[in-house]
Structure 1
Amino acid sequence: MKRIHVAAAVIRGADGKILIARRAETQHQGGLWEFPGGKVEDGEDVQHALKRELAEELGIQVTQARPLIKVSHDYVDKHVLLDVWEVSAFTGEPHGAEGQPLVWVTSRELLQYDFPEANRPIVAAASLPSQYLITPGELDTPVLLRGLQKAIAGGIRLVQLRAPNGYDPQYRDLAVDAAGLCAGKAQLMLKGPLEWLGDFPSAGWHLTSAQLRKYASKGRPFPKERWLAASCHDAEEIALARQMDVDFITLSPVQPTQTHPEAQPLGWERVGELIVGFNQPVFLLGGVGPSDASRAHELGAQGVAGIRAFWTD
């Protein structure tokens, strides 16, 4: 099977919007939308290929970029590796140098456009931030809600409402308050029995590894318009997450943690091995903080997740 290595870009403007382009009808997957980029030549550095392609296609010069996600996809006639970078700074005014229509869209608007199947994980990665806050479990409700409000005001856009003491009515009440604080500002991820799904339509759901093992064979429990995540700790659970068609996972523990001191850390090298081929965003968890984001990106992760390192109140 023919193998093609492609450098692609999630280009963000100063207002946070993302640039997408429509493929010519005569191209493979013609008429669909895509993230700009092109083929990496034999022996060519990926970042060099990205800059070259964007200069040719859009007339811009990339000045700041970082790895975002790698996606492997098999079509009937070819195998494609999409090496995706997030471009956060450039010079020049983007234009369709090859006549292709361009449009700037918000991350939410991406779902309104038809992309090739291989681009679906890129849409998820482009829509997610690089930090995932997990709330502490030992705080009184007023203190927790005040801290959550402060975190959102500080720029946190993805929050998991942790449920360390089981799934009880108190958690449900807290979830209602948290949903109100997050509305229009951050994506809230809840935990709990899947029977609760209908009670919190605006929230995503973060499955425990036990739930993943129990429900993976049944497939995704709700449509793609709603975020589904899972906690993974090894290759078997990552395979189950793929089977359940989750949108992203947390992978832990990377390093020793105070929360789970008995857990054997994976280490950075093993984390990098586990990420390869998963094709969905991965947040690294356990003994990591904001200062580890660059290392996580280099390994192919979406970013980092945590409790203490992200909780400022």
Structure 2
Amino acid sequence: MHVMAGVLIDAQGRVLLAQRPPGKHLAGSWEFPGGKLEEGESPAAGLARELHEELGIQVTAPGESLIRVPWRYGDRLLLLDAWILRQWESEPVSLEGQALQWCAPDAVDLTMLAPADRPILRALQLPARYPITPADVAPESFDAWHERLVRALHAGERLILLRLPRWPLERVRELADMLLPVARLQGAQLMLSGDLDGARELGRGVGVQLKARQLMALETRPLPWDQPVGASCHEAGELIHASAVADFATLSPVATTATHPDQAPLGWDAFRQMVDGAALPVYALGGMRDEDMTTAQRGGAQGISGIRGFW
């Protein structure tokens, strides 16, 4: 079942949520408004029709594809196809008995959303860039990299992975702790590489990027909802498993990398096929540079992640 979801964003940057009324599946949960496509209907036409029937609005400009979420509720398999809309006529009103509310995306409690709608909110919250610190940074470069990361946060980076394998674990945690006030002020998230205990210790604003072996050993997300969980994936099975454990994933290597020149890249066709089966936002990783952003997003990616091309 192909279901369209409208992510309506107003002039204040708020998003519209609708509550499922009594008597419906997942009654009381909040969701993005929309509904089923009819046979032969295009996604844009179907979404416009559903929003007119549900909210009384007339869509006046094409939407922008955000994420496609394959999901299973019991025996029912659906594809939730979310599009961002910024222009419409009339004020949205409840025409089907549902409660409505406008919310700042970062203020929404994920637990109040229907499970299939949570990846949509995550895709809306996450940035398009996900830089990773270089693996060859020496511990003696602590001060220099602290300054560099502060500049990056002030320059607009909103998600940074502190992957520093040459550093003692406590030193990486110390760096994250020093960066945390700036990150919180800027609305950014810091990610630790595989260090769940460190993320739990530092709390809100610090998440973890799970390594593939950690990911496959988990059955549920390992951190509270206000701490992001990423997953490092390299094949379809890992990516599908990440949908139950993480908020987002990286999929690599998409292209040939300088650090692993002998590793065969996935290529964009395989990347797209794997992303189509994943129910979470996915970053393209491996040989990525800023000029790859458009190609990545056309291939279904949240955006791009990288090391050398980002610093």
What TM-score do the two structures reach when normalised by structure 2? 0.86
| Residue number in structure 2 paired with 1:200 | 202
How do residues 120-199 of structure 1 correspond to structure 2 at under 5 angstroms? 120-139=118-137, 140-165=141-166, 167-185=168-186, 186-199=188-201
The aligned length equals 304
Equivalent residues of 2:132, 2:307 under 8 A apart: yes
| Residue number in structure 2 paired with 1:22 | 19
The alpha carbon displacement at 1:239 in A equals 4.2
The alpha carbon displacement at 1:174 in A equals 1.6
Q: 2: distance between equivalents of 1:8 and 1:39?
A: 9
Whichever residue aligns with residue 228 of structure 2, its letter is W
How do residues 81-92 of structure 1 correspond to structure 2 at under 5 angstroms? 81-87=79-85, 89-92=86-89
Structure 1 position 283 matched with structure 2 position 286: no
The alpha carbon displacement at 1:56 in A equals 3.8
Three-state SS of the structure 1 residue aligned to 2:198 is: helix
Q: 2: distance between equivalents of 1:93 and 1:155?
A: 34
| Residue number in structure 1 paired with 2:229 | 228
The alpha carbon displacement at 1:14 in A equals 2.9
The alpha carbon displacement at 1:301 in A equals 2.1
Of 49, 54, 57 in structure 2, the residue corresponding to residue 52 of structure 1 is 49
Whichever residue aligns with residue 273 of structure 2, its letter is E
Return 5+ residue gaps in structure 2 as ranges: none
Q: 2: distance between equivalents of 1:76 and 1:298?
A: 31
1:281-307: CA deviation from partner (whole Å, max 9, x where unpaired): 111111223333333233322221123
What TM-score do the two structures reach when normalised by structure 1? 0.86
Three-state SS of the structure 2 residue aligned to 1:293 is: helix
Of 113, 116, 119 in structure 1, the residue corresponding to residue 117 of structure 2 is 119
Identity of aligned residues (%): 38
1:111-167: CA deviation from partner (whole Å, max 9, x where unpaired): 166222222222322222222122334452333233322322232211111223254
Three-state SS of the structure 2 residue aligned to 1:174 is: helix
Equivalent residues of 2:136, 2:166 under 8 A apart: no
Whichever residue aligns with residue 196 of structure 1, its letter is G
Equivalent residues of 1:51, 1:62 under 8 A apart: no
Q: 1: distance between equivalents of 2:104 and 2:89?
A: 21
| Residue number in structure 2 paired with 1:109 | 107
Equivalent residues of 1:133, 1:160 under 8 A apart: yes
Equivalent residues of 1:67, 1:300 under 8 A apart: no
Equivalent residues of 1:17, 1:107 under 8 A apart: yes
Equivalent residues of 2:21, 2:98 under 8 A apart: yes
Q: 1: distance between equivalents of 2:253 and 2:246?
A: 19
Q: 1: distance between equivalents of 2:45 and 2:168?
A: 50
Higher RCO (Cα < 8 Å, 6 or more apart): 1
1:198-248: CA deviation from partner (whole Å, max 9, x where unpaired): 3211211111224335x33x64333333211111111243244345x1111
| Residue number in structure 2 paired with 1:10 | 7
Three-state SS of the structure 2 residue aligned to 1:43 is: coil
| Residue number in structure 2 paired with 1:299 | 299
Structure 1 position 61 matched with structure 2 position 59: yes
Q: 2: distance between equivalents of 1:276 and 1:145?
A: 37
Q: 2: distance between equivalents of 1:199 and 1:256?
A: 36
Equivalent residues of 1:252, 1:284 under 8 A apart: yes
Distance 1:100 1:291, change over 3 A: farther
Of 63, 68, 71 in structure 2, the residue corresponding to residue 70 of structure 1 is 68
Distance 1:24 1:219, change over 3 A: closer
Q: 1: distance between equivalents of 2:290 and 2:102?
A: 29
Equivalent residues of 1:204, 1:227 under 8 A apart: yes
Return 5+ residue gaps in structure 1 as ranges: none
Q: 1: distance between equivalents of 2:101 and 2:241?
A: 36
